[in-house]
A and B are shown apart, each in its own frame.
Chain A
Amino acid sequence: MQISSLIPPGFRLNGRRQRRTARWHIGNRQLVQSLSLGVVALVMIPVVYLFAGAVGAGQEGVDYLLRARTLIIIGNSIALMLATTFFATLIALPFAWLTSRSDLPARKILLVLGLAAMVIPSYLTAVTYTEAFGPKGILQSLLEPLGVDRLPGIKGFAGATLTITFVTFPYIVLPVRAALLHSDRSLEEAGQSLGLSRWQVFRQITLPQLRPALSAGMLMTALYSLSDFGAVAVMHFNAFTRAIFIQTESFRMDKASVLGLVLIVMTLVLLFLQSRLRHGGRHYRIGTGASRELTTMALGRWKYPALFFCGAVIFVGVAIPLLVLFKWLFGHTLTNPIQVSLSELISNTVGVSAVSAAVASLAAFPLALLAIRSASRFDRWLVNLAYAGNVLPGIVIALALVFYATQHMLSLYQTLPLLIMGYAIRYLPFSIGATESAFAQINPRFEEAARSLGLTSRAALLRITVPLARGGILAGLALVFLNVMKELPTTLILRPIGFRTFATRIWSAYDEAFLSSIALPGLVLIAVSALALAVILRREKAAQ
Chain B
Amino acid sequence: MEFPLQTDSLTKTFNGQSPAVNDITLSVRPGEFLTLLGPSGSGKTTMLRLLAGFEIPTSGRIQIGERIVADEAHFVPPEQRKVGMVFQDYALFPHVDVAGNIGFGLRGSRRERDKRVKDMLALVGLMAFATRMPHELSGGQQQRVALARALAPGPDILLLDEPFSNLDTGLRAQVRTDVRNILLETETTALFVTHDQEEALTLSDEIAVIFDGRLVQVATPHVIYNRPINRQVAKFVGDANILPAEAHGMIAASKLGEVKLFHARQGQVDLMIRPEALAISYDERGKPATVLWREFHGHYQRLGLALEDGTRLIARTGVDRYFGRGNEVRVSMALPALAYDRVG
Interface residue? A454 (CB, 8 A): yes
Interface residue? B41 (CB, 8 A): no
CB distance from B73 to the nearest CB of A (A): 15
A445 touches B91 (CB 8 A): yes
Residues of A440-495 whose CB lies within 8 A of B: 443, 445-446, 448-457, 464, 467-468
B77 touches A457 (CB 8 A): yes
Chain A residue nearest to B95 in the complex (CB): A467
CB distance from B193 to the nearest CB of A (A): 14
Docked Cα-Cα span, A235 to B215, in Å, equals 75
Most chain B CB neighbours (cut-off 10 Å) among A22, A443, A449, A452? A452
Chain A residue nearest to B82 in the complex (CB): A454
Residues of B67-87 whose CB lies within 8 A of A: 77-81, 83-85, 87
Q: Which of B55, B85, B93, B95 contacts A452 (CB 8 A)?
A: B85
Docked Cα-Cα span, A464 to B79, in Å, equals 15
A449 touches B87 (CB 8 A): yes
B79 touches A449 (CB 8 A): no
What residues on A are CB-neighbors of B298 within 8 Å? none
B94 touches A454 (CB 8 A): no
A448 touches B78 (CB 8 A): yes
B78 touches A451 (CB 8 A): yes
Residues of B135-171 whose CB lies within 8 A of A: 149-150, 152-153
A452 touches B79 (CB 8 A): yes
Q: Which of B55, B91, B152 contacts A449 (CB 8 A)?
A: B91
What residues on A are CB-neighbors of B95 within 8 Å? 467-468
Chain B residue nearest to A443 in the complex (CB): B91
Docked Cα-Cα span, A147 to B297, in Å, equals 89
A452 touches B78 (CB 8 A): yes
Most chain A CB neighbours (cut-off 10 Å) among B89, B93, B95? B93
Interface residue? B53 (CB, 8 A): yes
What residues on B are CB-neighbors of A443 within 8 Å? 89, 91
Residues of A21-55 whose CB lies within 8 A of B: 22-23, 25
B91 touches A451 (CB 8 A): no
A455 touches B54 (CB 8 A): no
What residues on B are CB-neighbors of A464 within 8 Å? 93
CB distance from A27 to the nearest CB of B (A): 11
Docked Cα-Cα span, A286 to B237, in Å, equals 40
With A25-B77, A443-B89 known as contacts, the answer to whether A452 contacts B52 (CB < 8 A) is yes
With A454-B105, A454-B107 known as contacts, the answer to whether A449 contacts B85 (CB < 8 A) is yes
Q: Which of A22, A448, A453, A456 contacts B104 (CB 8 A)?
A: A453
What residues on B are CB-neighbors of A453 within 8 Å? 79, 84, 104-105, 149-150, 152-153
Docked Cα-Cα span, A526 to B79, in Å, equals 51
Besides A452-B78, A452-B83, 4 other A-B contacts (C-beta < 8 A): A449-B149, A451-B53, A452-B53, A452-B150
Q: List 29 A-B contacts (CB under 8 A).
A: A25-B77, A443-B91, A445-B87, A445-B89, A446-B93, A448-B85, A448-B91, A449-B91, A449-B93, A449-B149, A450-B105, A451-B77, A451-B79, A452-B52, A452-B78, A452-B81, A452-B83, A452-B84, A452-B85, A453-B104, A453-B149, A453-B152, A454-B79, A454-B80, A454-B153, A455-B79, A455-B104, A464-B93, A467-B95
Closest 5 CB pairs of A and B: A453-B105, A445-B91, A451-B78, A452-B85, A449-B91
